Structure 1
Amino acid sequence: MKDVLENIEGQFEMFQVLDENGEVVNKDWMPDLSDDDLKELMRRMVYTRVLDQRSIALNRQGRLGFYAPTAGQEASQLGSHFALEEDDYILPAYRDVPQLIWHGLPLYQAFLFSRGHFHGNQFPEGVNALSPQIIIGAQITQAAGVALGIKKRGKKAVAVTYTGDGGTSQGDFYEGLNFAGAYDAPAIFFVQNNQFAISVPVEMQTNAKTLAQKGVAAGLPSYQVDGMDVLAVYAATKHVRERAVNGDGPALIETVTYRYGPHTMAGDDPTRYRTEDMTSEWEKRDPLVRLRKLLEKKDLWSEDDENKVIDDAKEDIKKAIKKADDYPKQKVTDLIDIMHEELPNNLQEQMEEYKEKESK
């Protein structure tokens, strides 16, 4: 059985299209993307990197609440989202706000979500997504249910959910995969393996050599992808999405990536569990640098192009944070009111109590 296990583990080779030098190393899987598509992917990654930098600064100024940095994971997040359609349903983890924004969530509402304002969770009509899940792994079982609902309605769409490497250590992970597999539900399970679940390295979380292989027991086609390669992530996502909408069931994708910043801005100190040399090595694989090199070789991207995106992002963020600042402050009575259609007696009493307090 040891030989069997080693044989299975050896079959999970890292899928890559674009190497660290911006060279296409897998021409057979080079996505059929137009020049405009490639430029749009680059624009989104640069914009999201700026958004991450500004969000960290706003958090330190006390103008945002909960925030989980995203720098380093742009290829994993945006490459996968670029392969989706508007009708697809996203069930994100708390680090996956960028996918929600590019799926249609207004930026000011993303800021309100960070502040804990209930309007940050009231998505506009047509934005097919749930709010970012704070409970580790809970979105995985939810995605299986959403995917089954999509199947029963006969829709040509998928449910896509994201978790980190730590999420694969949760019971919900196995339950969600097994349920989706048993019902051939059109779900895509993303594991963004950024090497540390808060502070525990992945090799201390599991004896499995890859996280992709965890999908095999549930009967899911499973792939390990270079998560710093936006074209590889896009190609893999496009492939499994087509399978799912054609009735071939769910799949799992492990994107091997890295987060440059702390786990969240709530006091995590990554210098306690990883070295500067490790981060420096991963920065050599940076997803923005990699795609930038490819586009520059094609004369599709310049310093002026990048500076324009940076300026546009800063202006959008400035307007969005002002709108969030100007938005009506959340009141206790708001929370009581939106939780129930008909208030029970004890909450009716509290409602009257807080109405009186808030009127003063």
Structure 2
Amino acid sequence: MNMPTPNNTLNIETVLKKIERTRQARRHKFYLRDEKITLSHGSGGKATHNLIEGVFAPAFSNPLLDTMDDAAIFGPTESGPRLAFTTDTYVVSPLFFPGGDIGKLAIHGTINDLAMAGAKPLYLSAGFILEEGLPIADLRRIVASMAQAANEAGVAIVTGDTKVVQRGKADGLFINTAGIGLIDTSRSIGQTQLQPGDRVLLSGPIGDHGIAIMLAREALDIETDVKSDTAPLHSLVSALLAAAGQDVHCLKDPTRGGVATALNEMALSSEVSIALDERAIPVRPEVRGACEILGLDPLTIANEGKLLAIVGQEQAAAALNALRSHPLGREATLIGTVQAEPQGMVFLRTEIGGMRVLDMLVGDPLPRIC
């Protein structure tokens, strides 16, 4: 895939100057100007990155954290087995939704963050913040769902914690999970590893999770059977790594902020450009229809059972076949390429043949979805 070309009605020099101004403005990278926390700071988009870069990153900076990948990678030696460690907190509302619940989501989400580092998930922790008044029956149902999800994925919940807060302070239930996994090779996978010529693969249709949550929460009069795509992706990653090996440069599950935000993070971290073909990006008709009614972009909607894989050109076909051979990747497709310039930018060739810059999610159209 070649770099999308500007619309002929635009002056090319003007377009390039605008792109360069945007690139320079984003290069170092995010600026926190807010005086108070808003819901947008939890969206996974620009406001989240502003918060991280403005508060957390400078305070906690160290070599393991500074890569800003989904998991920290460390070990006794660089050439031997290493460990991956990650943590996440789940505040989804409602607690139960088509295709899953907050408990299943917590297990799958932490497993997937480990898998995106190329790790085999081993052990999880689970911390619960319970709101006064939460029905015990709901808690039992969620805990049973977590146990089933962990058993099916072959991981163990080995430690945890429980706290109770006053009524109205926790929206029913919040869950924090952390996980440890094993990386048994010296392979380096991360969002700083992209190279010009790499291919961008997507494991399946996008937007299912965010739209399922939105429709369940708002009780909108839209007839659809959209379900969350929540699923553990470690076996899919294992099949991909077996097929493409060292040519798998980066893996990312496009959760908060969706595909657009995930690819922008990669482009910024690796100082490359990514060009996408909108026609190649799968979106289920019912999800696309709901997005059109609600004024949302499927590319910024959260997913919980899909992955993006950045793979070297020579092994892209083998990688795509490996994804398609797995039940969770049957609808995998090639959606774009990595290019050298302009650095830190993502472009989308639209279905009507135009070109636009694809930015991170701005604002928070769907709060508390994961």
TM-score by length of 2: 0.23
Higher strand proportion, which one? 2
Q: Which has the larger radius of gyration?
A: 1
TM-score by length of 1: 0.24
Higher helix proportion, which one? 1
